[in-house]
Amino acid sequence: MAAAVLARFLRPQSTSIRLIESEEIGIVGVGEATVPVIQALNGLLGIDERDFMRATQATFKLGIEFRDWSRVGNVHFHFFGDFGAPIEGIAPHHHWLKLRQLGDSTPIADYSFPYVAGKLGRFAPPAGDSRSEAASYKYAYHFDAGLYARYLRANAEGRGVQRTDGKVVDVQLRGEDGFIQALTLDSGERVEADFFIDASGFRGLLIEQALKTGYEDWTHWLPCDRAVAVPCERAGEFTPYTMSSARAAGWQWRIPLQHRTGNGYVYCSRYTSDDEAAKNLLDTLDGRALAEPRFLKFTTGRRKRFWNRNCLAVGLAAGFMEPLESTSIQLIQTALARLVDLFPDSRFDPTLSDEYNRVSVNEFERIRDFLILHYCATERGDTPLWNYCRTMSIPASLQHKIEVFRSCGRVPLLSEESYQEPSWVSIFLGQHVYPGRYDPLVDNIDTDRLRRGLLHRRDTIRKLAQALPAHSDFVARHCAAAAA
Ligand SMILES: Cc1cc2nc3c(=O)[nH]c(=O)nc-3n(C[C@H](O)[C@H](O)[C@H](O)COP(=O)(O)OP(=O)(O)OC[C@H]3O[C@@H](n4cnc5c(N)ncnc54)[C@H](O)[C@@H]3O)c2cc1C
């Protein structure tokens, strides 16, 4: 991603880009779910959606369904859309809250077009007419991360990036200021550069091993520290959404691709063993396992400085907040956009890296809070992990959001929020965090008129969703991979 984006924006007459990676070390390769902002990245890189989907065995993603998170048996969702247009200027969840207080049991999900379409197993891109209920959503993709990396590599090479397959075995720092001067590869080649992007994964080869930048550990709030992943044969529903099911010591993902289904159990090593986690995962696959389970260890948190001297860390080298909302690839994308905005010249004015770090810290912390909400808003106390999450202390910034929402149903958004009000509302209401009151201006609308209006909205959504093609048919018709 970094090589492709920088090659797209930096002038080839004045810049040369080297991509150094090691086939032998390989990539993590389990990043299979994305968020809608990836469409902007693909667009900037001139990538044709259907060509990319064929090449990466991709499917469409309208959001995430959460099972058993707040209580065993509870199902809630976070889909890429809202609950319809504001009514008389007031967000629809306030109107829904009023009717709920009057005894209406309609789930708020019925007002989310992507949720209704997703649950019916249907998909089509948003309607062109922005007034339609079928226009108020976005979508992302599930794909094979290894194939996407290869696809982007070709894109970068097509723009003149020079790629070397080799291992970095040494990093030399400049004596006077501690900037990185050069890397040595296992071939013996010495590679000098002005600026280095550390995309070496959890090891943080440059940012940590060489520059000793430090890491802020968030395990207290995001306690899962392991994952076991295994693909299985495609079976069961071909859902246009990710499934996230809470388990005794963590949660399990299910991601349908064209050629297989991706599965993983993210867990906390304090509460279960690797063997038990692997067994739990294998016991719940809906098709035959296609590989041996693969184990990954991580520490949730972030690098203390993302940009340190002449090195910028992206991806897992920058930090990892666990894959619950598929935010890692998004964070790489926003990091690169920010770098392009603040790109340094040879003076390396520290103002640029300070600003980069300030904004990035905010962005990371907002996402962190959103993820913690999924855990701390549980009512479960049936296993040690869930009991811990229910009772743990949380960041003051998240506590404030919860208190304001509980008080009046509003979400106080801060700067650099990746998630807007409908996303927070989905998790709050989905996990039974209810406001004490709705917006009193809702009472300016006659209650019967409101009821009729919301009923009409619900019916329209259902009819429009039912008219869409099945997700499997849409993929087969427009973007089927050759081998699928
Ligand atoms: C369990 C799990 C699930 C995830 N799910 C999602 C998801 O659904 N959605 C999402 O957006 N993200 C997800 N992620 C995160 C996502 O996988 C990563 O953000 C993404 O793959 C980018 O990884 P990376 O490039 O930073 O690191 P890696 O994939 O580890 O790549 C590191 C690169 O550095 C190279 N390298 C390392 N050391 C050397 C060396 N000495 N010399 C030369 N080259 C070297 C390697 O060859 C490799 O190319 C998940 C992560 C985990 C752990």
Taking all residues of the chain, what is their mean pLDDT, rounded to a whole number? 96
In one letter, which amino acid is 137?
A: Y
SS3 helix, strand, coil % of the chain, rounded to 5?
40, 20, 40
Q: How far apart (Å, rounded) are the C-alpha atoms in residues 92 and 137?
A: 15
Which pLDDT belongs to residue 90?
97
Catalytic residue among 61, 98, 119, 401: 61
Q: Give 316 Cα–ligand 1 centroid separation in angstroms.
A: 6
Closest-CA residue, ligand 1 atom 7, reads 31
Q: How many CB atoms lie within 10 A of CB 10?
A: 15
For residue 382, give the 3-state DSSP assignment: coil
Classify the C-alpha dihedral 301-306-311-312 as positive or negative.
positive
Q: How far apart (Å, rounded) are the C-alpha atoms in residues 428 and 94?
A: 13
Q: Give 59 Cα–ligand 1 centroid separation in angstroms.
A: 21
The residues facing 320 across adjacent strands are 301
- Given a contact cutoff of 8 angstroms between Cβ atoms, the answer to whether 246 and 374 are in contact is no
Which pLDDT belongs to residue 130?
74
347: CB partners within 8 A, 6+ apart: none
Atom of ligand 1 nearest to the CA of 35: 11
Atom of ligand 1 nearest to the CA of 145: 21
Q: Which residues line ligand 1 (CB under 6 A)?
A: 20-22, 25-28, 30-34, 145, 167-168, 199-201, 203, 205, 227, 229, 264, 296, 298, 315-317, 323, 326, 328-329
Q: Is the pLDDT of residue 213 over 90?
A: yes
For residue 201, give the 3-state DSSP assignment: helix
10: CB partners within 8 A, 6+ apart: 17, 343
How does pLDDT run across 438-452, given as a tens digit for each residue?
999 999 999 999 999
Atom of ligand 1 nearest to the CA of 317: 26
For residue 375, give the 3-state DSSP assignment: helix
The answer to whether 463 is a known catalytic residue is: no
Higher pLDDT, 262 or 483: 262
Q: How far apart (Å, rounded) are the C-alpha atoms in residues 480 and 279?
A: 33
Q: Which residues of 388-426 are buried (b: 16+ CB within 10 A; e: fewer)?
A: bbeeeebbeebeebbeebeeebbbeeeebbbbebbbbbb
Q: How far apart (Å, rounded) are the C-alpha atoms in residues 7 and 160?
A: 7
Residue with tokens 């709705």: 438
Q: Is the pLDDT of residue 349 over 80?
A: yes
How does pLDDT run across 230-273, given as a tens digit for each residue?
999 999 899 999 999 999 999 999 999 999 999 999 999 999 99
Closest-CA residue, ligand 1 atom 53, reads 296
Give the residue, out of 28, 41, 268, with the most ligand 1 atoms within 8 A of its beta carbon, to mutate for a pocket test: 28
Q: Give 335 Cα–ligand 1 centroid separation in angstroms.
A: 15
Give the residue, out of 20, 21, 296, 327, with the most ligand 1 atoms within 8 A of its beta carbon, to mutate for a pocket test: 21
Q: Give 48 Cα–ligand 1 centroid separation in angstroms.
A: 24
- Given a contact cutoff of 8 angstroms between Cβ atoms, the answer to whether 336 and 1 are in contact is yes
How does pLDDT run across 145-199, given as a tens digit for each residue?
999 999 999 999 999 999 999 999 999 999 999 999 999 999 999 999 999 999 9
Which pLDDT belongs to residue 245?
98
Q: Which of 115, 114, 116 is nearest to 127 (CA)?
A: 114
Phi–psi pair at 252, nearest 5 degrees = -125, 135
Q: Give 83 Cα–ligand 1 centroid separation in angstroms.
A: 34
How does pLDDT run across 280-310, given as a tens digit for each residue?
999 999 999 999 999 999 999 999 999 999 9
Q: Give 26 Cα–ligand 1 centroid separation in angstroms.
A: 9
Closest-CA residue, ligand 1 atom 1, reads 227
Q: How far apart (Å, rounded) are the C-alpha atoms in residues 316 and 336?
A: 14
Does the predicted model carry a pTM greater than 0.85? yes
- Given a contact cutoff of 8 angstroms between Cβ atoms, the answer to whether 192 and 184 are in contact is no
Atom of ligand 1 nearest to the CA of 264: 1
Q: Residue 482 — very low, low, confident or very high, per pLDDT cuts 50/70/90?
A: confident
How does pLDDT run across 415-440, given as a tens digit for each residue?
999 999 999 999 999 999 999 999 99
Q: Give 182 Cα–ligand 1 centroid separation in angstroms.
A: 23
Q: How many CB atoms lie within 10 A of CB 294?
A: 15
How does pLDDT run across 19-53, given as a tens digit for each residue?
999 999 999 988 799 999 999 999 999 999 999 99
- Given a contact cutoff of 8 angstroms between Cβ atoms, the answer to whether 418 and 327 are in contact is yes
Closest-CA residue, ligand 1 atom 17, reads 31
Q: How many helices (H) and strands (E) does the chain have?
A: 14, 20
Atom of ligand 1 nearest to the CA of 253: 8
Q: Residue 127 — very low, low, confident or very high, per pLDDT cuts 50/70/90?
A: confident
Q: Which long-range contacts (CB under 8 A, 24 or more apart) does 349-356 make?
A: 352/307, 353/305, 353/307, 353/308, 353/309, 356/306, 356/307, 356/312
Which pLDDT belongs to residue 132?
80
Inter-CA distances, 55 with 86, 143, 258, 476, Å: 40, 9, 11, 14
Atom of ligand 1 nearest to the CA of 23: 47
Mean pLDDT, residues 374-386: 98
DSSP symbol at 130: T
Q: Is the pLDDT of residue 483 over 70?
A: no
- Which tokens is 406 given? 């509980």
Radius of gyration for the alpha carbons in the chain, expressed in angstroms and rounded: 23
